[in-house]
Amino acid sequence: MSRRPRPRTVTALVVASTLLLVGCGSPSPEVEREPRVVGELLPAVDISEMRLPIPDEELRVVEPGWVTEPQYADGIYLGGAERDGVLEFTALADTGEVLWSAQRPASCAGFVVTTDGAGRALAVLTDTETTGEALAAVTATAYELATGRRVWGPVEVSGPHQGPGLVFAAPPAGMMGETGPRTALDPGTGRVAVAETASGEVRLVGEYGGVVLTVESDALVARATADDSELWRVELADHGWGSSAVSASPEAPPAPGLVILTVSDPADARGVLIDLGSGAVLSESVTEVAVDATSGALVTLDGATLQAFDRDREALWSQTVAPGTTIAALGGVLLYLREGDVLRVHNVITGAVAEAYDPGREGAIVVPWQIAPNGASVLVHDRGYLVATVYEPEGAGDAGL
């Protein structure tokens, strides 16, 4: 099993999901499920033949070997690498130190980085064990992202991970078809917070760091997973949305507190940007969204219109871009755009074209994929994911279980 990295629009992967289903049910080697402390710095890779963004040129770059898209929270990345037939997850600090690792079978294993109601970053790993005749139940277990200490679990879930967040469902009866009713877990406890009803009165959209979005009758409703309290509701008719047309976007949330949903109608499907805290609909026609964690600037792409807003959501600038333009990354006030095979960089505050690469340097251009608030970043290279780390830690091996 192998997954190659791909550029995507994302700035802070606080809540996202990855699902691995290749070979589900096939025999797997013995795995070491419990996290173990590693506390070792990854060695630096040779970047002499790479053209890194100027802000990353002086940083130490490491290669974790992940085959899954890494997820991020609180200065720590989590990704999976296939080793000897099992999937090994590693929690990597933005210093380049591997904090801990845990293994799962390389089939039916999913993972989510999320936060509980107290803002604690968690790694939730799914698992399944097989018998000689059939699949056993799928389970989920939560660990502190920083230490690998178990927080809850394993708890049995309704099926493989579906997402966004801690959403699970039984697989279709056949290779294709609808999944079973979906359930969402509370990140803090692992208990079922919301379950879809057989009557369809409650339809799960996604779980986002302790907030579950549902469609209930004629409204989009946000509920706290901790106590099921209603946080806000948006009447669908106020925006012309049909109850069956609102779903989670495949795009990861662009930043904590923001969610992208997809609203479909007979004519087309469009992205809707929502403030998760208030329910305010910030835009009803976005194709991509990114947030600069450094300046707080928000960038939206709607077809051929690129717009930037400041931290207070006041307009900064707007430009028309070529069809097919996508956002590769945003961070350190630099906006990386792809136009076909061309990479163009803008200053997100002014909109002016910026020079992000040393023109005197030779080698293949390495494009950022995610840029953390402190400047650490995940880079996409033909060798896979690289991480530009921020500083050398004073000591390693302090994670402790």
Under 8 Å between Cβ of 180 and 158: yes
> How does pLDDT run across 30-88, given as a tens digit for each residue?
889 999 999 999 999 999 999 999 999 999 999 999 999 999 999 999 999 998 889 99
182: closest CA among 162, 201, 211? 162
> How does pLDDT run across 329-361, given as a tens digit for each residue?
999 999 999 998 899 999 999 999 999 999 888
Residue 328's alpha-carbon distances to 180, 290, 364, in angstroms, are 35, 9, 16
Note the pLDDT of residue 397. Answer: 46
Those residues with Cβ within 8 angstroms of residue 209's Cβ, 6 or more apart along the chain or in another chain: 14, 15, 114, 115, 116, 165, 187, 256
- Our CA angle for 122, 189, 69, nearest 5°, is 30
Residue 224's alpha-carbon distances to 114, 125, 188, 198, 260, in angstroms, are 14, 22, 11, 22, 18
Note the pLDDT of residue 7. Answer: 35
Return the CA Rg of the chain.
Answer: 21
Under 8 Å between Cβ of 19 and 161: yes
The segments of the chain whose pLDDT lies below 70 read 1-28, 108, 129-135, 174-177, 265-267, 392-401
Q: What's this model's pTM, rounded to 2 decimal places?
A: 0.86
- The residue behind tokens 């109850």 is 243
Note the pLDDT of residue 108. Answer: 65
Under 8 Å between Cβ of 167 and 204: yes
Under 8 Å between Cβ of 45 and 386: yes
> How does pLDDT run across 176-187, given as a tens digit for each residue?
667 788 999 999
Under 8 Å between Cβ of 102 and 36: yes
Note the pLDDT of residue 10. Answer: 33
Residue 340's alpha-carbon distances to 288, 306, 367, in angstroms, are 16, 16, 14
Note the pLDDT of residue 134. Answer: 52
Q: At 180, give phi and psi (nearest 5°).
A: -75, 180
E-strand stretches of 276-331: 281-286, 288-291, 298-302, 305-309, 315-320, 326-331
Note the pLDDT of residue 350. Answer: 97
Note the pLDDT of residue 266. Answer: 58
Note the pLDDT of residue 81. Answer: 94
